[in-house]
Amino acid sequence: MEKAMNIGVLGAGQLGRMLALAGYPLANRFTFLDTTGHPSAGIGDVMVYTDQHHLLDDFLSRVDLVTYEFEHLPVSLVQAIEEVKPVYPGSEAIRVCQNRAEEKALFDRLGIPTPAYRLVEHADELEAAARELGCPVVAKSVTEGYDGKGQAVIRDPAEAAEAWRAIGHPRLIVESFVEFVREVSIIAVRGRDGEVVFYPMAENQHVDGILRYSVAPMPDLDDSVQQIADGYIRALLDELDYVGVLTLELFQCADGSLLANEMAPRVHNSGHWTLDGAVTSQFENHLRAIQGLPLGDTAARMPTCMVNVIGREGDPAAILALPDAHLHRYDKSERPGRKLAHINLVAPTHEALMERVRACAALLPEAPEPRFSFEPPA
């Protein structure tokens, strides 16, 4: 039997924490390299990166392979690590996902449809793009934006100059505003041997750019739509020679068609439902993939909803009194807009699930009303 493996993780937030929790039953050990100066994993060995080569050497001496839970990393750092230890997924995935222009070019090359877009480098070009695409449009920084940061909605071309100043980035991508029915995501896992498995698609509800609810599986999703999404994400996985969990966020339009929004090269917030609602969680499957182990079953056990706890926490005892409720706290201090925990609710039917979701939302200080486009079967 192989010895326990020490896995290095770039980033030290709640995603790394959940990776470690999934990895301990496999006799893994974890060493985190934090690049933000604010680690919150609260588990394993945490090192804070300060551009000192001896510290990086120390980190690499401790680990057998490296993965990451946070893609906003210096690409040069990841490339340097690749020279010494295996890194899964590879640095090319980070390079592409950090740059929305590169990401859109990859989608175009692989025939994955996206909202119409333009790249601009000046406020005047932003105004021209808004006129050409037709308002409203969404302007986003080409790099560094996530969870709604670094972007603005422009409802009139005259707002372009102010949006340019507010975003404060030298290059923006401007996208047509999509009349979508719902936001969805597909999560897939690719092993070192090229095997790919897919999770059921999730429907996601965002508020102010932050995910609040994810439901999977979707009761009214046509099998053909799941297959189309599977094809899109498989093309990305194969093109990048990817190993691990990849997430693709999409808009579903009224005719059922899908438009790609963005991808994330890591375990993802919209896959947290898998911890209690799938046969194998995204976290365990990511670890299986990067270690070259067989991938686990991705089927949903029952209808599941993930509820994000943002800003302020509710009473844990009241939440855990709900039927089939599973609370995952991140041990982080309360702060507006901060992800503090999530709750997975599981039920035998989507109707019963929505009742539990509404009851749970009522226990959280800052939970919005859950609104899903599907009609749960009676």
Positions at the binding site? 100, 140, 145-151, 175-178, 183, 206, 261-262
Radius of gyration of the chain from its Cα atoms, rounded to whole angstroms: 21
Among 352, 267, 270, 268, residue whose Cα is nearest residue 306: 270
- Tokens found for residue 23: 């990895």
Q: What three-state secondary structure class fits 262?
A: strand
Q: Is the dihedral angle over the CA atoms 22, 24, 27, 33 positive or is it negative?
A: positive
Q: Which amino acid is at 66?
A: V
Phi, psi of 361 (to 5 degrees): -60, -35
- Tokens found for residue 63: 């680990």
Among 116, 115, 112, residue whose Cα is nearest residue 235: 112
Among 14, 192, 91, residue whose Cα is nearest residue 22: 14
* CA 147 – CA 317 distance, rounded (Å): 29
Residues at the annotated binding site for ATP? Answer: 100, 140, 145-151, 175-178, 183, 206, 261-262
Count CB-CB contacts under 10 A for residue 156: 11
Contact 334, 203 (CB under 8 A): no
Angle ∠(106,109,114) on CA atoms, nearest 5: 70
- Classify residue 143 by burial, with Cβ atoms within 10 Å: 0-12, 13-18, 19+: middle
